[in-house]
Amino acid sequence: MSATSPLTAARGLHDAERFTRPELEALQLERLQWTVRHAYENVPFYRNRFDEMGVHPSDIRQLSDIERLPFTTKDDLRANYPFGLFAVPMEDVRRVHASSGTTGRLTVVGYTDRDLENWADLIARSLYASGVRPGWKVHNAYGYGLFTGGLGAHAGIERLGCTVIPMSGGQTEKQVQLINDFKPDAIMCTPSYLLTIADAFEKAGLDPRESSLKVAICGAEPWTDSMRRELEERLNIKAVDIYGLSEMMGPGVGNECVETQDGPHIWEDHFLPEIIDEDLRQVVDGVQGELVFTTLTKEAFPMIRYRTRDLTSLNPGTARPAHRRIAKITGRNDDMIILRGVNLFPTQIEEIALEVEHLTSHFILELSKRGTMDHLVVKIEPEVAATGAEADAAAKVLQKRIKDRAGTTLGVELVAPGTLPRSEGKLKRLYDLR
Ligand code: DLL
């Protein structure tokens, strides 16, 4: 099999998945040199940055030379809105996507024909790693449109030789009906939306464990291993983690293997990952920090050392030995809550809430001011079947466990089952009322 025959390659293991680490690194170096030259020659922003730092593409002689290159941030994307960072003429850009983020301008990304081909291949590779096989029906509940989730996943499902059910997000009752009637083998959606769908099954009088689904490929937001267990238990499926971001491509930058479920392997033949500390210095594998990526094959939108703001560590490959894995992302450094000097992530609360009997994973965090102090309240739904006394006791347990493990006291308020907003895509956990 040749590395360039996409159809066959995408329907089994790609050559790059069998590489040894030295083989992979040789390819990475060649591709890094190409990318750096491509960006320098075609994007004035990169040329100026490189010139300011006195670095030239010819200085990249080995992979570690990447540390000589400047970082790129979301602000740089915004400052070059909409197409300022594109490295090919507009007529060669076949598609754009955009993400809104929480503040300010859209960030826009673009793809050439070849970029779209690579993306479909990488989703196919990710699905294969998830245990999906040609001939399966895949229900795609990632949102279609400017968001990369829907259309990105769509092309890869087809590429693997599966039947795609292009449902998109929302219309939850209809999702349940289609899953029940079309009997898909796999589903793609955010973990929080899968929970909404499981609830909707029960509301419709159906047992989610009895559905045809075998695998869920979940990502686009941080989630915990406790949430994985909850989803696997409630739906009788395997839940596998898919990672990605628009600035690199979209979904499929990395994916977990179903046989090990030990964190997404980054597809390092296309993306070069680094982890940096607060002083922006590279740290060694195993140490947590901010994830940074450089694209290795992107034509329309090469990105050099893009700071993702995602907090994780890089660990040795397992099921795909040459491709390092990222640890489950605890959060982003911009959704970290600093409460009276203690750092907190919504995922920490999720982890703890899911352990407490009689509570559900339906909760939000409300941050407000009491006098001059910040105050954080967890509003959480108890299980429908819990008695008032059971729910009250559970709320106290939650508060105590948060205090013991996160080191700070939060308010815990019970709210009636079914009253908190339900996810239809990326779930908003934190409401800042200050
Ligand atoms: O969320 C792409 C995607 C779509 C990935 C569908 C997976 C599935 P953005 O909207 O640009 O792109 O958001 C990217 O989402 O930097 C992380 O903070 C977060 N994220 C994505 N996947 C995961 C994951 C898509 N598996 C941002 N675990 C990233 C934790 C994730 N966080």
pLDDT for residue 105: 82
> Which pLDDT tens digit goes with each residue over 96-121?
999 976 567 899 999 999 999 999 99
> Which pLDDT tens digit goes with each residue over 22-81?
999 999 999 999 999 999 999 999 999 999 999 999 999 999 999 999 999 999 999 999
Nearest CA to ligand 1 atom 29: 245
Domains in the chain with CATH codes: 1-330 (3.40.50.12780), 337-432 (3.30.300.30)
CA of 316 to the centre of ligand 1 (A): 21
> Which pLDDT tens digit goes with each residue over 253-286?
999 999 999 999 999 999 999 999 999 999 999 9
pLDDT for residue 299: 98
Average pLDDT, the chain: 95
**Residue 243 near ligand 1, beta carbon < 6 Å:** yes
> Which pLDDT tens digit goes with each residue over 133-157?
999 999 999 999 999 999 999 999 9
pLDDT for residue 7: 44
Residues 6+ apart with CB under 8 A from 240: 129, 130, 131, 215, 216, 217, 218, 255, 256, 257, 258, 261
Most informative mutation of 154, 217, 221, 334 for ligand 1 (most atoms within 8 A of CB): 221
How would residue 330 be classed by pLDDT, with cut points 50, 70 and 90?
Answer: confident
Structure-model confidence comparison of residues 265 and 333, the more confident one: 265
Determine contact, residues 73/307, Cβ cutoff 8 Å.
yes
pLDDT above 90 coverage of the chain, percent: 92
Give CA–CA dist 265/165, Å, rounded. Answer: 26
pLDDT at 338 over 70: yes
Global pTM value:
0.95
Determine contact, residues 313/325, Cβ cutoff 8 Å.
no
Most informative mutation of 310, 330, 336, 429 for ligand 1 (most atoms within 8 A of CB): 310
For residue 343, give the H/E element and its range: strand 342-344
**Residue 169 near ligand 1, beta carbon < 6 Å:** no
Determine contact, residues 42/57, Cβ cutoff 8 Å.
no
pLDDT for residue 3: 45
pLDDT for residue 103: 62
**Residue 119 near ligand 1, beta carbon < 6 Å:** no
pLDDT for residue 10: 52
CA of 221 to the centre of ligand 1 (A): 5
CA of 392 to the centre of ligand 1 (A): 35
Mean pLDDT of 173-183: 98
> Which residue bears the tokens 């680094």?
274
How would residue 9 be classed by pLDDT, with cut points 50, 70 and 90?
Answer: very low
